[in-house]
Amino acid sequence: MIQPNDLIVFCGAGGFIGGHLVAEYRRRGYKNLRAVDIKPFSEWHQRFPDVDNLQLDLSNYESCLIALAGATWVYNHAADMGGMGYIETHKANCMLSVLINTHLLMAAKEHKVNRFFFASSACVYAAGKQTVTDVVALKEADAYPAMPEDGYGWEKLFSERMCRHFREDFKVDTRIVRYHNVYGPHGTWDGGREKAPAAICRKVFQAKHSNSHEIEIWGDGHQTRSFMYIDDCLTGTTAIMESDILEPINLGSSELVTINQLVDIAEDIAGVKLTRKYNLDAPKGVRGRNSDNTLILEKLNWEPSIRLRDGMEKTYQWIGDQILRGQKSLVY
């Protein structure tokens, strides 16, 4: 296990999950933390003065060697990604994230890193298993035969295999988590990379305060998803990192809702009822996706349990505060 003075490196620390993870380890009392991201410090979602903050391009091997020097544990959340509006229109950019994980694994091997975490995604799952709204929850085995989300999903699936083979061939001890739609405060909520919960919170808040009383919904609103609040994400991420689970594992809520129901929740929080306009030409992803949590329950006797209504309320309030303060969303 990690010791109090061991160096933990967080790659992609300027992003949503990465920033929260640094904050979590600070809360736990760890002092030897290094945060790394390509973005200028002014664009990091969260940054802490008592952490060794580095601005590096981790698609470059030499930068990875610098980032991981002296590391005991490494979390890799670095990737070029966003919500469906981004990944469906920037497939090459998403694929290029393969350079980040590959070079980080090479640096981890070189520096003899004790444990390496890779943040994968539910986008690795075969599209043929996600064609109906009343979807059967996805088990880890459902990633094969492979037909993941084009671009982003293929990169994640390839990088999962890279982690596996670095573990088998080079003894880099890897952990792989497939995240299902993480949301919460201190995330992207505008600009094109935001995911559905943040986008809907923003649209409902703006509709209420502009008196337009209209909201655009991507697709017909019947597509289904599950959404995991960031606190559950942190609990699961750290527990899996500390565990002996070697194969990829789901980390997501099993509370399945339609996009229309997600809008219902945001409207209820805001105390409004809006006219819905459906944009059938907008990016919308698979028809249905949910997390089968059998394996995580078996391994950890735990699964994400924060109600969507509770997480959305905190997210809505935080995004509303940003809008009222005249803040702009960090688009990365």
* CB neighbourhood size of 209 (10 A): 13
Q: Is 332 helix (H, G, I), strand (E, B) or coil?
A: coil
Q: Where does the pLDDT of residue 331 fall: very low under 50, low under 70, confident under 90, or very high at 90 and above?
A: very low
Say how far apart CA 153 and CA 120 lie, in whole Å. Answer: 9
What domains, with CATH codes, occur in the chain? 7-182+227-251 (3.40.50.720), 186-226+256-290+308-324 (3.90.25.10)
Say how far apart CA 12 and CA 47 lie, in whole Å. Answer: 12
pLDDT digits (tens, 9 = 90+) for 248-281: 999 999 999 999 999 999 999 999 999 999 999 9
Q: What's the pLDDT score for residue 332?
A: 32
Residue 141: name the closest of 301, 250, 253 by CA. 250
Q: Is 77 helix (H, G, I), strand (E, B) or coil?
A: coil
Q: Read off the tokens for 240.
A: 């899996």
Say how far apart CA 82 and CA 60 lie, in whole Å. Answer: 21
| Phi, psi torsion values for 267, nearest 5 degrees | -65, -40
Say how far apart CA 185 and CA 198 lie, in whole Å. Answer: 9
CA atoms within 13 A on the CB side of 129: 23
- Decide if pLDDT at 47 tops 60: yes
Q: Could you give the residue numbers annotated as active site?
A: 152
- Decide if pLDDT at 230 tops 50: yes
Model confidence, pTM: 0.95
Q: Read off the tokens for 5.
A: 């003075």
